Amino acid sequence: MSKTPLLTLEEAQARMVADLEPVTGCEDVRIGDALGRILAAPVTSAIAVPGFDNSAMDGYAFAAALAAGRRSLPVTCRSAAGDRPAVLAPGCACRIFTGAPVPQGADTVVIQEACAEENGTVVLPADWSFGSNIRRRGEDIAEGTEILAGGHRLRAQDIGLLAACGRTQVTVRRRLRVRLLTTGNELREPGSGVLAPGQIYDSNRPMLRALLLRLGVEATTGETLPDAFAATRQGLREAAEDADVIVTTGGVSVGEEDYVKKALEEEGSLSLWRVAIKPGKPVAFGRIGKSLFVGLPGNPVSGFVTFALFVRPLLAALAGEIRRTPPTLMARAAFERKKPDNRREFLRGRLHVAADGIPEITCHRQQSSGALSSTVWADGLVDIPAGAAVEKGQWVRFQPFEGLFD
Ligand code: AMP
Ligand code: MG
């Protein structure tokens, strides 16, 4: 057994991204193709949004000063969305619709439900206030302001905002290339025939590939590496020819059949490999040539959790992404954990609102790192500090999957 002291999660994460330079390549993409891409530079808006004062409601527009003390006004013009701005005669009202330009000379809109229109005259309510129901030019975005920061990962609403500002293209960082390799003599691909005794289907490869694809990474997979030194070395060497990051699963423990760590030490360098978390103690990090290397444990739950804890932040740093720490929340434990673990533990849990209205966490009964069904059942991880027991009713920290993997 190695005597290397265990690193805390934060220490391991910090070491992993220390001195890491983001990839420099950039490309221009159409905004329709930009979902999930990372902005290479801040984006400013060349125009004001809205571009003109417009009505927030269907109603009647008029000049407040000229309507004061009057209950009815002649309706002399009409302004619908898409119309050019009209000019309102003094002391008159304009029939106006949502999104329509406020006519020149008007400064207030009263909603139609509060008015009555008869024979070309609108009867106003007794009370209305100056300037109401108008969306002012530039109130959303002033001309020339920064709308999105460099390093921002584009979501649907960001693409909407880019379009609102008239942008057709943005400059983004190039996609990362990730090579995903699973290891293990026991692994078979689903569809490759009936399992022989001792064999299992490879679940890590499609699962991790899916997590990568969701992040907009170019993910390639190779043949499963056998538990053999020479083949593992060769697999890593080949992967390093092209990949920004090599991710492997399995073979990073200290067992006789664990070759990844040894092969990494021969082909490149190993930076860390034992972290005080459960699941996922054996996590390797290093470099082979120009590629970064992350070796995840083979157990599928461990692979899933350590992907979130290590690979996700690493990809962010390498892609030049400014990623905020995934938000967590506190909830009441509906479970107990009598025996404390000396490692920080991430249990698979589910959040619901209890009968008394308090958010509450239940844990999957099967917390084995091989039992993938717990991750399917769960919607996040319960973060139990090292050495802590949990009593029912105690507050525990919960980390929803969304923030973790996004
Ligand atoms: P290892 O980390 O290689 O010692 O593997 C730990 C456990 O995870 C063993 O039970 C393996 O059979 C299992 N395992 C390793 N790789 C995979 C995989 N790609 N898919 C499913 N299970 C795996
Ligand atoms: Mg193995």
Answer yes or no: are the C-beta atoms of 302 and 279 closer than 8 Å. yes
Q: Which fold has domain 9-25+175-318?
A: Molybdenum Cofactor Biosythetic Enzyme; Chain A (3.40.980)
The pLDDT assigned to 273 comes to 72
Q: Is 297 in the pocket of ligand 1 (CB under 6 A)?
A: yes
- CA-proximal residue: ligand 1, atom 15 (nearest): 298
Homologous superfamily of domain range 54-135: Molybdopterin biosynthesis moea protein, domain 3. (2.170.190.11)
What's the mean pLDDT when you consider all of the chain? Answer: 95
The pLDDT assigned to 2 comes to 52
The pLDDT assigned to 304 comes to 97
Read off the pLDDT band of 347 (50, 70, 90).
Answer: very high
Q: Is 299 in the pocket of ligand 1 (CB under 6 A)?
A: yes
Q: Is 204 in the pocket of ligand 1 (CB under 6 A)?
A: yes
pLDDT in tens, 50-89: 999 999 999 999 999 999 999 999 999 999 999 999 999 9
pLDDT at 252 over 60: yes
Which residue(s) pair with 170 in the sheet? Answer: 29
**Distance of CA 367 from the midpoint of ligand 1 (Å):** 16
**Distance of CA 384 from the midpoint of ligand 1 (Å):** 25
pLDDT in tens, 128-146: 999 999 999 999 999 999 9
Distances (CA, A) of 180 to 135, 207, 296: 51, 11, 11
pLDDT at 20 over 90: yes
Read off the pLDDT band of 257 (50, 70, 90).
Answer: confident
Q: Is 189 in the pocket of ligand 1 (CB under 6 A)?
A: no
pLDDT in tens, 283-333: 899 999 999 999 999 999 999 999 999 999 999 999 999 999 999 999 999
Q: Which of 180, 200, 201 to mutate to test the pocket of ligand 1 (most atoms within 8 A of CB)?
A: 200
Q: Is 180 in the pocket of ligand 1 (CB under 6 A)?
A: no
Ligand found nearest the CA of 227? 2
Q: Which atom of ligand 1 is nearest to the CA of 370?
A: 8
Q: What angle do CA 112, 116, 118 make, to 5 degrees?
A: 125
Give the length of the chain.
406
The pLDDT assigned to 253 comes to 81
Answer yes or no: are the C-beta atoms of 360 and 354 closer than 8 Å. yes
Question: What integer is the mean pLDDT of 363-384?
Answer: 96
Ligand found nearest the CA of 370? 1
Q: Is 298 in the pocket of ligand 1 (CB under 6 A)?
A: yes
pLDDT at 243 over 70: yes
The pLDDT assigned to 227 comes to 96
Q: Is 250 in the pocket of ligand 1 (CB under 6 A)?
A: yes
**Distance of CA 258 from the midpoint of ligand 2 (Å):** 6
Domain 329-405 has CATH 2.40.340.10: yes
The pLDDT assigned to 328 comes to 97
- Of the listed ranges 101-110, 237-246, 252-261, the one predicted with least confidence: 252-261
Q: Give the residue among 392, 382, 398, 379 at the shortest CA–CA distance from 333.
A: 392
Answer yes or no: are the C-beta atoms of 404 and 380 closer than 8 Å. yes
Q: Is 313 in the pocket of ligand 1 (CB under 6 A)?
A: no
Which residue(s) pair with 282 in the sheet? Answer: 274
Residue 120: count of CB within 10 angstroms of its CB: 9
Say what the pTM is: 0.92
Instruction: Write down the domain spans for the chain.
Output: 9-25+175-318, 26-47+143-173, 54-135, 329-405
CA–CA separation, 315 vs 37, rounded Å?
A: 12
pLDDT in tens, 174-189: 999 999 999 999 999 9
pLDDT at 272 over 80: no
- CA-proximal residue: ligand 1, atom 14 (nearest): 298
Read off the pLDDT band of 3 (50, 70, 90).
Answer: low
Q: Is 203 in the pocket of ligand 1 (CB under 6 A)?
A: yes
Name, in order, each residue with C-beta under 8 angstroms of 205's C-beta and a sequence gap of 6 or more. 180, 182, 189, 221, 224, 249
**Distance of CA 146 from the midpoint of ligand 1 (Å):** 47
Q: Is 249 in the pocket of ligand 1 (CB under 6 A)?
A: yes
Q: What is the DSSP letter of 360?
A: E
Q: Which residues surround ligand 2, an ion (CB under 5 A)?
A: 184, 250-251, 298
**Distance of CA 43 from the midpoint of ligand 1 (Å):** 44
Read off the pLDDT band of 21 (50, 70, 90).
Answer: very high
Say which amino acid occupies 19: D
Range 26-47+143-173: architecture per CATH: Alpha-Beta Complex (3.90)
Distances (CA, A) of 225 to 184, 245, 385: 6, 17, 35
